[in-house]
Amino acid sequence: MAPLTEHRLVSGPVVYGFLRLVRVSPARQEALTASLAEFCRSHELQLSGVLSDREVNSGPASAAFTGLLDVLAIPDVYGVIAPAMSHLGPKAIAAERRRRIEATGSRLLLIRPARPKHPSVSRSGPARRRSPATTRVLDPES
C-alpha cells in the first residue's frame, strides 16, 4: 500500500497480472513483471500476483489462464493487467480470453493499448495523392 494524494494509506483496487512468456529470457520476464508493478504503483492499483503462460500451443484454456479466471472469482478483485493484448495469446485466443475476462465482470487493463487500425488522419497530416505524370513532347521545330 502506498499513500494516495490525500496521504492516507488505503488499499488500491486489486489486480492480477498476466504474461505470455513463450521463449522469453529471464531478464525479459523480470522487465515485464517490473513494468506491471510500476504501472500499478503509478495508477494506485494493488498487484496481487502475476500468472505466466509459457505454453506455445495452449489454446484459450491453458493452466495459467484457468488460474487467472479462478482468482478473478475472488471478491474485490478489480481486474487483469497485461503489457499488451498480445500477452493474451494469438488474435483468436486473445479475443476469447478477453471475452472470458469481461464475462467475470473484471476489467482488462493494457499498458500498451492497441493502435487504431485505420486512423482517419495520419500524424504527418493528410495523405497527398500524386497525379499521374504528364509527359510533354517538345517539338524541336517550334
Per-residue pLDDT of the chain (142 residues; tens, 9 = 90+): 555 555 555 567 999 999 988 888 999 999 999 999 999 999 989 999 999 988 777 678 888 899 999 999 998 899 999 999 988 888 889 999 999 999 999 999 999 876 666 655 555 555 555 555 555 555 556 5
> What tens digit of pLDDT does each residue of 83-104 get?
999 888 888 899 999 999 999 9
* First CA to last CA distance, the chain: 87
Residue from 139, 75, 137, 63 nearest 106 by CA: 75
What pLDDT is stored for residue 22 in this prediction? 86
pTM of the model: 0.69
Angle, alpha carbons 124-129-134 (nearest 5°): 140
Q: What is the mean pLDDT of the chain?
A: 80
By CB neighbour count within 10 A (0-12 exposed, 13-18 middle, 19+ buried), where does 88 fall?
buried
What pLDDT is stored for residue 73 in this prediction? 92
Q: HSE-up of 66 (CA within 13 Å, CB side)?
A: 5
